[in-house]
Chain A
């Protein structure tokens, strides 16, 4: 079971809009960390993903385990938010 979902985004990132669109279509709620508004949280996004890119989607499960999806990747995002 998914406990919460956080997406790291920027203002100009089109793939971030696609992740939100996909989660909306699956009636999932999520928090957004906009790195243009919060550049101090870039290091956190990097530490979680190992990547200098957005979107980074962090799916936290009920047992506090985490799944991190880099980019707009439906093959990874779809299974991450189910189960």
Chain B
């Protein structure tokens, strides 16, 4: 019975930079907006140590502070953030019905801004030592490695940025990179400095084969130097994994929303998905450039388009974007 189910003009799935920015726009226009967040309000921006490239902050800003500011701004205009998860979505007449941890709700329009989560490396020991020597969040767990040795796995922006952050705690970091470093130039320069200072050693063309423990503790990572095909041991007290991101789109598997081959959401030029009334913005969108500034920009665009849609003024565009190669993070 639809009349017993709470109804909203817009429901946003996720409360990262994209959705919070969108919520500032919708709520300022008195569009009733509810956001669902299963993790941290502020999304991946909140777990990032320092953000140096978000315009308007000449000295950079702590990710947690930026996230908190975005939240406060959205809440100031009336955005409501529910701590919970959306697990499914289907059309119901003029509405979209969302299954959530707080029960079903109906929305006239939906913005999906669920971003992505860290991938696992998928080696033995990774699951066994999760949170007891194997970690995916440097700003959360780095403090436990004061004066200790670490291995960081990955070669993209996240791996380099988080390795640099971890040097404030660890005495030494072995950075295991499957092929070559794919981080931005500025991060590579910072990495060079850390290498020169003896804080980080970079091991290129090195796969991670196994995380080995003894007496309930991680003691080493076993890798392979793919150039010499020789096994290499990296003694360590802990491992941080940053091997890329996977889109948070599992909950759309049985929906009308079309995904690309990796699982990112395809949209048209209005950021509308293949399911009318459902829009996508930020990292979850196929072709996104995976930056806070762009997520915020897409959030604002989506909000303005959603208002048009709610007013019945949006002309449908059938074709979705071409599949786009996702940049390394």
B-contacting residues of A (Cβ < 8 Å)?
10, 12-18, 21-22, 25, 35-36, 39, 42, 46, 50-54, 70-72, 74
Contact = CB atoms under 8 A, between A and B. Distances in A.
Interface string B130-149: 01110101011111101000
A52 B129 CA distance: 10
A35 B144 CA distance: 9
Given A15-B140, A42-B144, A52 B133 contact: yes
Nearest to B63: A14
B103 interface: no
A52 B132 contact: yes
B40 A51 contact: no
Contacts of A10: 139-140, 142-143
A70 B131 contact: yes
B139 A12 contact: yes
Interface stretch (B41-49, B250-258, B305-313): B41-49
Contacts of A14: 40, 42, 46-47, 63-64, 67, 139-140
A12 B49 contact: yes
23 contacts: A10-B139, A10-B140, A10-B143, A12-B49, A14-B140, A15-B39, A15-B137, A15-B140, A17-B64, A18-B39, A18-B40, A21-B83, A22-B83, A25-B83, A36-B143, A39-B146, A52-B135, A53-B135, A53-B144, A54-B140, A70-B131, A71-B131, A72-B39
B68 interface: yes
Contact of A17 (B40, B49, B84): B40
Nearest to B145: A52
Contact of A51 (B47, B84, B131): B131
A21 B42 CA distance: 13
Nearest to A71: B131
Contacts of B40: 14-15, 17-18, 72
Nearest to A21: B41
A46 B131 CA distance: 11
A22 B83 CA distance: 8
Nearest to A51: B131
A52 B47 contact: no
A43 to B, nearest CB: 10
Interface of B: 39-42, 46-47, 49, 62-64, 67-68, 83-84, 131-133, 135, 137, 139-144, 146, 238
B103 to A, nearest CB: 15
A52 B140 CA distance: 10
The 6 closest A-B pairs by CB, nearest first: A14-B46, A12-B139, A52-B144, A51-B131, A14-B40, A53-B131
A18 B41 contact: yes
A70 B135 CA distance: 13
A51 B146 contact: no
Contacts of B39: 15, 18, 72
Nearest to B44: A14
Contacts of A51: 131-132
A13 B83 contact: no
Most buried by A among B68, B141, B238: B141
Contacts of A21: 41, 83
B68 to A, nearest CB: 7
B321 to A, nearest CB: 31
Contacts of B140: 10, 12-16, 53-54
A52 B130 CA distance: 9
B147 to A, nearest CB: 9
A24 B124 CA distance: 40
A52 B115 CA distance: 26
B143 A54 contact: yes
A10 B140 CA distance: 7
